[in-house]
Amino acid sequence: MRTRTAAGIAAELEAELEQYPDERGQILVEAAQAWRQAGDDDRAVALLTQAIALGGEDGGNARVDLAQVLFDLGQAEQAHAQLDELRHQRPSSPAPYHLAAELLEDRGEHQQALTWFNMAVARLAEQEMADRDTEFGFFSYANNVVAGRRRVRHALGMPPDELDESVQVLSEQAEDLARALTPPAPPKEVRVLFWPRNEIPRAHDTWPQLVEHAEADTIIADREAANRELSEAGIARITMVPLTTAKLLEFTNRTGSDPTDEQTRLACMNEIVENSGAISWPPARNASCWCGSATKYKKCCGRPRLD
């Protein structure tokens, strides 16, 4: 497979100039950036000069890119002249001002960067500013501009103004959103209350609303499958807590609670655990199976699944 080089990408972009005349300015800027990556600054300058001649937002963006080339070539005076010319032309779009502000910020010229950020903010449309107050306002272009303004003001030691404070509010919203989108870490331990194999028919007869059927093989197989899913999900420890009808009856009679209530069974489970009646899952392969079959785990629930 042929690797595309920066020069190759630049040549491909130039080839598109005739095919997409309405996008000529943008294509010229992109091609110039590719030529810069290829190390051909002269070709980049030539294309940027063509884009500047077209005017409009693309022309303004191209002038900022040309200023960056000149800065990189050590021609700071000529670079600032390009920015002065951009300011004199007064483009209506905030984008060129924003790009110039970030260029000067990167160079550590914070006072001039602030001037350009202020000009960019002044050219943001009312709707763009209103978009900052929406649920995803932190990601809006306007907020990006205002956040840049706040950065340079902070670098200049200026106290935050109302506009700066509005960025902080949006930042907090973004952090809340990020937390909401981040899945919670799995718990380190899960306790599973279960009916041992020989208790299932008895529990079904006693509390059919709790144990809907007496098919022990199905119930036990489903529990083993659920445990494996928990393990694969990152649960570090699974503790099996066997419950018998005799234990639940004794507990409810002693506490005066309802055996069909979930909180009752949870309290009973905790008591079993405190009395060392829990089983770690999975058992060792040659240990007795957790389900109460008295068969080795490897020959019972621990057998390979036939998925």
Q: What digits encode the pLDDT tens for the residues 30-47?
A: 999 999 999 999 999 999
The DSSP string of 19-66 is T-GGGHHHHHHHHHHHHHHTT-HHHHHHHHHHHHHH-HHHHHHHHHHH
Q: Average pLDDT over the chain, rounded to whole?
A: 90
Residue 261 confidence (pLDDT): 94
Which secondary structure element, helix H or strand E, spans residue 165, and what is its range? helix 162-181
Residue 176 confidence (pLDDT): 67
Say how many C-beta atoms besides its own lie within 10 A of residue 215's C-beta: 13
Read off the pLDDT of each residue in 44-51 and give the average, rounded to a whole number. 95
Residue 6 has pLDDT above 90, yes or no: no
Of 80-89, 174-183, 203-212, give the lowest mean pLDDT range: 174-183
Categorise residue 181: left if φ over 0, alpha if ψ from -120 to 50, beta otherwise: alpha
Structure confidence by residue, pLDDT tens digits, 162-202: 999 888 665 566 666 677 677 777 778 899 999 999 999 99
- What pTM does this model have? 0.56
Cβ neighbourhood burial of 113 (10 Å; 0-12, 13-18, 19+): buried
Residue 104 confidence (pLDDT): 96
Residue 44 confidence (pLDDT): 94
Read off the pLDDT of each residue in 270-278 and give the average, rounded to a whole number. 92
Strands of the sheet containing 279-281, edge to edge, are: 189-194, 237-242, 279-281
Whole-number Å distance between alpha carbons of 101 and 111: 10
